[in-house]
C-alpha cells in the first residue's frame, strides 16, 4: 500500500483533486447554500491563481514537499521517537493540521503577513474554486512553514502525500457553496464544514477572526477561536473585506500592495 502511494503520488493527487472538484461542483448545482450568480470571471481568476501557485512552488522546491520528506525522513522528532509507521502517519497528520491552523492564525495577526492572506478574503462570493484563490506570496510562505515542520518532525513521505491530498481536498470542500443541512453542524463536532469556514470569510471582523481550522475543528475549540453561527443567516451573510473589492487576477495579485498603502 505504502509503495503504491509513493509510486503513483502525482497521478493519485490529480485524480483525487479532480474527483473532489467535479463532485463538489455537481453538489453546488444540485444543492446550493447561497445564490452566487455568474461564475466565469471568478473561476478564471481562481483557476489561474491555483495553477500559477502550483507551478511556482514546483520551481522553488522541485519535487515538492514529498521529495524533501524522502531526503529528511529518519531524522527529526519521529526519528527519535521510533513509533510504528501507522501511528507516525496519524500523529503527523494531526500535528501538520495544527501547524496549518497556527499558520492561519499568524496570517491574520502578523501585520506583514495579513496583506498576503487578505487577497484570499477579498472575494465576496465563495464557491469550491475559492479554495484555490491564494496569493503567490502566501503560497510561498506556507511552503516554507510546511517544509520546516516536515524537516523538524522528520515526517514520513507517505504522511506528506496523504497530508497534501487532504489539504487540497478539504480546501475545496470547506469553500464549497453546498447545503449539507443538519450534517453541517454534526460534521463540526470534529471537522471543518463549509458553514464553519464561510463564517471565517464574513465581512465582520469579529467573525473573520474565528474558525481558522482547515481539516480538524478541534483546534478552534481548544484555543477558543470557534464560532458556530454568524450574526445573521448564512444566506445573507456579507462576505469579503470592508473597503476592498473582489476584482480579477490583477487585482488579486496587487491586493497586498493596496493593503499596505491603505493601512492606517
Ligand atoms: Zn483567513
Ligand atoms: Zn478561506
Which ligand has the shortest distance to the CA of 118? 1
Tens digits of residue pLDDT in 107-131: 999 999 999 999 999 999 999 999 9
Tens digits of residue pLDDT in 145-199: 999 999 999 999 999 999 999 999 999 999 999 999 999 999 999 999 999 999 9
How close is the Cα of 53 to the center of ligand 1, in Å? 18
How close is the Cα of 259 to the center of ligand 2, in Å? 18
- Residue 260 vs residue 205, higher pLDDT: 205
Which ligand has the shortest distance to the CA of 109? 1
How close is the Cα of 6 to the center of ligand 1, in Å? 32
pTM exceeds cut of 0.85: yes
Percent of the chain predicted with pLDDT > 70: 97
How close is the Cα of 1 to the center of ligand 1, in Å? 35
Q: Is the alpha carbon torsion for 6, 10, 13, 18 positive or negative?
A: negative
Which ligand has the shortest distance to the CA of 108? 1
Decide if pLDDT at 243 tops 80. Answer: no
- Residue 105 — φ and ψ, nearest 5°? -60, -45
Q: What pLDDT, on a 0 to 100 scale, did the predictor assign at position 264? A: 38
Q: What pLDDT, on a 0 to 100 scale, did the predictor assign at position 1? A: 66
How close is the Cα of 132 to the center of ligand 1, in Å? 13
Decide if pLDDT at 47 tops 80. Answer: yes
Q: What pLDDT, on a 0 to 100 scale, did the predictor assign at position 260? A: 67
Tens digits of residue pLDDT in 68-97: 999 998 888 998 998 999 999 999 999 999
CA-CA distance, 216 to 94, in Å (whole number)?
Answer: 8
How close is the Cα of 99 to the center of ligand 1, in Å? 14
Contacts of 196 by beta carbon, 8 Å cutoff, 6+ apart: 174, 184, 188, 211, 213, 217, 228
How close is the Cα of 216 to the center of ligand 2, in Å? 14
**Cell numbers describing residue 94:** 494531526
Q: What pLDDT, on a 0 to 100 scale, did the predictor assign at position 262? A: 59
Q: What pLDDT, on a 0 to 100 scale, did the predictor assign at position 5? A: 72
Residue 192's alpha-carbon distances to 103, 175, 210, in angstroms, are 16, 10, 12
Which ligand has the shortest distance to the CA of 197? 2
Amino acid at each position: 500500500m505504502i509503495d503504491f502511494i509513493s509510486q503513483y503520488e502525482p497521478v493519485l493527487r490529480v485524480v483525487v483533486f479532480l474527483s473532489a472538484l467535479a463532485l463538489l461542483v455537481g453538489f453546488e448545482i444540485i444543492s446550493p447554500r447561497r445564490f452566487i450568480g455568474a461564475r466565469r470571471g471568478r473561476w478564471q481568476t481562481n483557476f489561474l491563481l491555483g495553477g500559477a501557485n502550483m507551478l511556482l512552488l514546483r520551481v522553488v522546491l522541485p519535487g515538492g514537499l514529498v521529495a524533501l520528506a524522502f531526503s529528511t525522513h529518519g531524522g527529526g522528532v519521529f526519528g527519535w521517537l521510533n513509533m510504528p509507521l501507522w501511528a507516525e502517519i496519524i500523529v503527523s497528520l494531526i500535528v501538520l493540521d495544527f501547524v496549518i491552523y497556527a499558520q492561519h492564525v499568524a496570517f491574520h495577526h502578523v501585520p506583514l503577513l495579513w496583506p498576503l492572506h487578505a487577497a484570499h478574503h477579498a472575494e465576496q462570493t465563495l464557491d469550491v474554486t475559492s479554495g484555490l484563490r491564494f496569493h503567490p506570496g502566501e503560497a510561498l510562505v506556507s511552503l516554507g512553514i510546511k517544509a520546516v515542520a516536515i524537516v523538524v518532525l522528520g515526517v514520513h513521505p507517505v504522511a506528506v502525500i496523504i497530508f497534501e491530498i487532504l489539504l487540497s481536498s478539504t480546501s475545496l470542500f470547506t469553500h464549497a457553496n453546498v447545503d449539507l443541512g443538519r450534517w453541517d453542524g454534526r460534521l463540526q463536532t470534529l471537522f471543518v464544514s463549509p458553514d464553519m469556514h464561510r463564517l471565517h470569510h464574513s465581512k465582520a471582523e469579529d467573525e473573520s477572526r474565528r474558525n481558522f481550522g482547515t481539516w480538524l475543528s478541534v483546534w478552534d475549540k481548544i484555543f477558543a477561536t470557534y464560532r458556530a453561527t454568524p450574526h445573521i443567516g448564512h444566506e445573507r451573510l456579507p462576505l469579503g473585506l470592508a473597503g476592498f473589492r473582489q476584482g480579477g487576477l490583477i487585482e488579486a495579485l496587487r491586493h497586498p500592495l493596496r493593503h499596505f498603502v491603505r493601512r492606517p
